[in-house]
Structures are given as C-alpha cells and as structure tokens.
Structure 1
Amino acid sequence: MAFQFSSILTPLSVAVLTVSDTRTPDNDSSGDCLAGRLTKAGHLLAERRIVKDDLYQIRALISQWIISPDIQVILLTGGTGFTARDSTPEAVKPLLDKEIIGFGESFRQLSWQQVGSSTIQSRALAGLANQTLIVCLPGSPNACATGWDLILQDQLDSRHKPCNLVPHLKASTAALCQPRSA
C-alpha cells in the first residue's frame, strides 16, 4: 500500500528566535535570512524575537512556543558556539522529547565545504518537543542559509518524498514516509 502525498504545500506556522547579546531588529541578518526563506517557501512567520544569550530566557520563550497550538516549528539562530555565553543547546536539549541526531550531523557535513574543519565547533541540533520541531543553527547568515537551503526547506515541505518532518508536527494530517521503490 503506497502512501498518498499531496501536490499542495502544507504551510507551517514558524517562529524565529535570534539568540544574541548584540543583535537588534535593525541588524539581525541571520533572523532576516530565516524569515525571508521560510516565507518565500510558503510558510507563515508566526512570531520573531531576539533574546539575550541566557539559558533561562531562551528556555522560557521556547517553552511558551512549544505549548502554543499556533507554533509548529521554532528556528533558532545563535548561541551554538563554544564561548562562555553560548548556551542555546543547553537551553533547548532538556525540552526535547526526541533529538533528530541526523540534523546536526548533516549540517556539519554540509558546512565543511564552506568553513572546513571549523565546522566541528558547530553545536547545531534539532529535535521534537510536543510535536513542535525545534532547530538550533549558528548565528551567521551563511549558516542559516546552509541549514535552510540544504536541509530544512525539503524537510518542511509536505510534498518532499520519500519523507519529511511535516507529519510529525502538531495539526498535521500528511502521510508518513513513503516506502522506497524496489
């Protein structure tokens, strides 16, 4: 029995969070990158915020979005490095029901072409919490473009085969992965 995929995009409601001690709405180029790409792809920018790189501020806002029936995806940019202030992974990991290990692995593999061995310092990660996808990307526009263009665009497209993440998100009725052909 084959799963049925729709040829119509299921638009998702996406929140974008920039984690930074220095960014403002006027110079948040990474947040701009993500917001522009997701809306161009046909998704809805539900909310966009900037918070200081503080574990508890990040966790508090993410927790609010996780329980919101109106947010299906949360994209974070920033705070994934190794400085003393970088705390995004520590803020997000305890909130996850399931980590999507392949996201971080794929992101670092794809980033190798751009930044070489420096990619090992990326702590990019993704996971699900309360049927909400949470993705943590580095704070550069290039990293956000790589994450969106080469991974997220397809995985947030309900038409992408053989499978995508849309059926695993709240308020989603799309079919799960399509069986591979023999």
Structure 2
Amino acid sequence: MSAVEHKERAPKRLHVGVITVSDSRAAAMKEGRDEDISGRVIEEELAKEGHSSDRTILFDEEDEIKGKIEELVSNPEVDAIITTGGTGIARRDRTVDVACSLLDKELPGFGETLRRIGYEEHIGGPALLTRATAGIIGRVPIFCLPGAPNSVRVAMKLILPELPHVVKHACE
C-alpha cells in the first residue's frame, strides 16, 4: 500500500479534547471571562478541518491535569488530546511532566520540529525554552503545546495534516 493510500484510510472526522492549563485563564473563567485565546485557536483550527472538540480550562495543578487527561483517554469518543500551556520551565509549568508520566510512546519529532520552526522563523533563542511534546497514551495521541497563541498557530499547522494518520496508527 502506498503512503497516499495509507493516509486515505485514516478517519476523516475526529473529536479532540482540548485542555488549557493556565492559572490566569482558569481564574478568569471562574469570574465568567473566557480569556483563553490559545484554546479557542485550537478549536477554530480543528473546526476548519471538520473536527469537533471540547475545551476545558484548568489551573496548573498536577492532580487536575492528570485527572482530565485520564478522563479523556478513557472516553471512547475522544480521538486525540491537545493541551496548551504549562510547557515552559517555570516551577508551575507541569503539563509536560504529567503528560510524559502517562505516555506509552513518545513522538519527539513534534517538539523538535516546533522548536526549530520557532527558533528559525519567529522568536529565536526563547523557542528553546518550551518543552512542547507529543506521544501516545493508550490509543490516544496527545500534543502538548505552549500557551502563546502564535506558537499554537504554528503547532496546529504541524498537527492538522497528520492528525488523522496519527490517530489511525495509535488505534492499530
């Protein structure tokens, strides 16, 4: 089977759990304000490709992040998870640590590529401070993106063309 035929057999419509991890965004949401630009960007980009999503905003607390990821992974309607926020080097940045503790397989090329593009085309050296990563938990791909909207837009350009293909492989 050719690579094109292989990709054509991937699912066309996916449902993605979107998790924003940010103390400030979660606090604003508690006050009735949705200041989650990056989460909305993810949802909008998914919708452009015909995919559905549900978005959750969490404080950067290990138990909350782990609980939500596990909930989504155990939901048979969820095909993939995309997180935004908590990928930096600050003490409160826990998303990558939690996600990596749950991974069955890591996809290091995603984070490497995102950092390279960020370095070469956008922000230079600060791109190296993100710990953005991707992998598979059970049958569910997870992508952990930085919280900056521009980084999310770049990441979604990497993710969307391959997401159905990744989901297909993760379910095999």
Question: One fold, TM greater than 0.5?
Answer: yes
TM-score after normalising by structure 1: 0.84
Counterpart for residue 131 of structure 1: 139
Q: d(CA) in 1 for partners of 2:155 and 2:36?
A: 17
For the pair 1:78 / 2:99, whether they are aligned, the reply is no
Counterpart for residue 117 of structure 1: 125
For the pair 1:64 / 2:71, whether they are aligned, the reply is yes
What 5-or-longer segments of structure 1 have no aligned partner?
Answer: 159-163, 173-182
TM-score after normalising by structure 2: 0.88
Q: d(CA) in 2 for partners of 1:26 and 1:101?
A: 32
Counterpart for residue 14 of structure 1: 16
Q: 1:78 to 1:7 in 2, by over 3 A?
A: same
Counterpart for residue 153 of structure 2: 145
> How far 1:166 sits from its partner (Å)?
3.0
Q: 1:72 to 1:146 in 2, by over 3 A?
A: same
Are the equivalent residues in 1 in contact too, given 2:87–2:95 (CA < 8 A)?
yes
> How far 1:9 sits from its partner (Å)?
6.1
Cα RMSD of the aligned pairs, angstroms, is 1.8
Q: d(CA) in 2 for partners of 1:13 and 1:35?
A: 10
Aligned residues: 163
Deviations, residues 21-42 of structure 1 (Å, cap 9, x unaligned): 0113521000010000001111
Counterpart for residue 101 of structure 2: 94
Deviations, residues 104-158 of structure 1 (Å, cap 9, x unaligned): 1011011111110111101000000111010100001101100001x101111x4
Aligned-pair identity (%): 35
Are the equivalent residues in 1 in contact too, given 2:81–2:143 (CA < 8 A)?
yes
> How far 1:7 sits from its partner (Å)?
8.4
Q: d(CA) in 1 for partners of 2:129 and 2:69?
A: 23
Are the equivalent residues in 2 in contact too, given 1:16–1:48 (CA < 8 A)?
yes
For the pair 1:53 / 2:54, whether they are aligned, the reply is no
> How far 1:67 sits from its partner (Å)?
1.1
Q: d(CA) in 1 for partners of 2:125 and 2:85?
A: 19
